[in-house]
Amino acid sequence: MLTWNEICRIAKEGNPEPDHTLQRSDAEWAAQLTPEQYHVTRQAGTERAFSNEMCSRFEPGAYGCVCCNSLLFDGEQKFESGSGWPSFTQPVKANAIAYHSDHSFGRTRIETTCNTCEAHLGHVFPDGPAPSGLRYCMNAVALCKLDESETQQS
């Protein structure tokens, strides 16, 4: 189980190697994604809070990166944070997510990106529920619900 101290160390010292990587040009990403998905995932944007129904849906299943379908989160780790964005306590694997220190807006946060394709997902904070105390605050448009065949490939 990842902890806040471990995430801070990873953000400072370097991310774990992903299982595989995927690179595309900006034009290819723009052709594949909606304008909002492109803005959030490729330009590190943020969707408006409470703007996506994924925030209030709690159903079994797996969530992946909207850009590359890499498995990121299990629905069992999703919780209601009241933040307006889907929140999870842990990724499915330690190397599914990459962590980067983010010093924008006059404060330090930890940005989360897909470790496969480098898509911006959101941020992780140390104010989640026990036992990890983590809150992965994700942009809903950066995620997609995966079907069973997709989760077995990851």
Q: What is the mean pLDDT of the chain?
A: 93
* Number of structural domains found in the chain: 1
23 Cβ contact list (under 8 Å, min separation 6): 117
| Beta-carbon contacts of residue 9 (< 8 Å; ≥ 6 apart) | none
Asked whether residue 45 is domain-assigned, the answer is: yes
What range does the domain containing 107 cover? 4-12+22-153
The catalytic position among 55, 67, 137, 144 is 137
Domain holding 34: CATH number? 2.170.150.20
> At residue 76, what is the residue type?
E
Q: What is the mean pLDDT of residues 138-142?
A: 97
Rg (CA), the chain: 14
Q: Assign 98 to helix, strand or coil.
A: strand
90 within a domain of the structure (yes/no)? yes
Active site residue 137: yes
In this structure, is residue 17 part of a structural domain?
no
pLDDT, one tens digit per residue, over 82-102 is 999 999 999 999 999 999 998
> Is 119 within a domain?
yes
**Has residue 94 been placed in a domain?**
yes
**% of the chain residues with pLDDT over 90:** 84
CA distance 120 to 112: 6
